[in-house]
């Protein structure tokens, strides 16, 4: 009987370790940011490589027109001049369509690129895809990418109200 329990425990442990080995992991600090090309709200393709030589704040958010996502976008927009002074580009990514992004930008007065990851490939590559009920959405994660294309800061716990100020503060340290 004890032998059976040990065997079950061993099988469960091996099963859990197997699941963990298949779990995605976000690009870590010091690694090259995964390349991608996605359509913007204008319907034009935007590639990460287009921004080599600039700092990039790549932020993933769940859904256009929702309260937290609107707050986060407004704060990035409010601080856009500060980002531009630091040679930083803001790129927002969600699984919404380019048309949804276009409407969201128009309604909310957003002047930075929102990218449509409708096939979830980029969100998956950045381990930023989560379930919201029966629907997959982008998780609220942010990656700061340096001008050489390396990830230099990762945020997986994002509070929309404070996030832009938090990112600006990190950039001030990173750019010293």
Task: Please say whether the beta carbons of 67 and 35 come within 8 A.
Answer: no
Among 153, 166, 119, 154, which Cα is nearest to 138's? 119
Task: Please say whether the beta carbons of 128 and 26 come within 8 A.
Answer: yes
Does residue 52 lie within any of the structural domains?
Answer: yes
Does residue 74 lie within any of the structural domains?
Answer: yes
Task: Please say whether the beta carbons of 116 and 106 come within 8 A.
Answer: no
Does residue 16 lie within any of the structural domains?
Answer: no
The owner of tokens 């409010």 is 78
Task: Please say whether the beta carbons of 95 and 120 come within 8 A.
Answer: yes
- Reading the chain (176 residues) residue by residue, the pLDDT tens digits are 555 545 444 343 333 333 333 345 779 999 999 999 999 999 999 999 999 999 999 999 999 999 999 999 999 999 999 999 999 999 999 999 999 999 999 999 999 999 999 999 999 999 999 988 889 999 999 999 999 999 999 999 999 999 999 999 999 999 99
Give the catalytic positions in this structure.
69
SS3 content of the chain, % helix, strand, coil (to 5): 40, 25, 35
Task: Please say whether the beta carbons of 86 and 55 come within 8 A.
Answer: yes
Which CATH number covers residue 124? Answer: 3.40.30.10
Does residue 161 lie within any of the structural domains?
Answer: yes
Task: Please say whether the beta carbons of 39 and 45 come within 8 A.
Answer: yes
Does residue 81 lie within any of the structural domains?
Answer: yes
pTM of the predicted protein model: 0.85
DSSP assignment of 62-82, as one string?
S-TT-HHHHHHHHHHHHTHHH
Report, in angstroms and rounded to the nearest whole number, the Rg of the chain calculated over CA atoms: 19
Q: What is the number of domains present in the chain?
A: 1
Does residue 11 lie within any of the structural domains?
Answer: no
Does residue 143 lie within any of the structural domains?
Answer: yes
Domain of 53 in residue numbering reads as 27-174
Does residue 55 lie within any of the structural domains?
Answer: yes
CA separation, residue 166 to residues 9, 49, 133, 135, 159 (Å): 44, 25, 29, 29, 10
Among 58, 81, 70, 92, which Cα is nearest to 161's? 70
């Amino acid at each position: 009987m004890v032998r059976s329990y040990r065997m079950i425990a061993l099988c469960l442990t091996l099963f859990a370790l197997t699941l963990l080995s298949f779990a995605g992991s976000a690009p870590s600090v010091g690694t090259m940011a995964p390349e991608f090309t996605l359509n913007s709200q204008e319907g034009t393709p935007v590639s990460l490589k287009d921004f080599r030589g600039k700092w990039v704040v790549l932020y993933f958010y769940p859904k256009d027109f929702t309260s937290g996502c609107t707050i986060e976008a407004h704060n990035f927009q409010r601080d856009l001049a500060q980002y531009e002074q630091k040679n930083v580009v803001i790129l927002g990514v969600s699984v919404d369509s380019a048309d949804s992004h276009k409407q969201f930008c128009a309604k909310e007065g957003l002047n930075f690129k929102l990218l449509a990851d409708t096939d979830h490939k980029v969100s998956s590559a950045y381990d930023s895809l989560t379930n919201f009920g029966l629907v997959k959405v982008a998780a609220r994660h942010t990656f700061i990418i340096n001008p050489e294309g390396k990830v230099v800061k990762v945020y997986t716990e994002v509070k929309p109200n404070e996030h832009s100020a938090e990112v600006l503060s990190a950039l001030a340290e990173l750019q010293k």
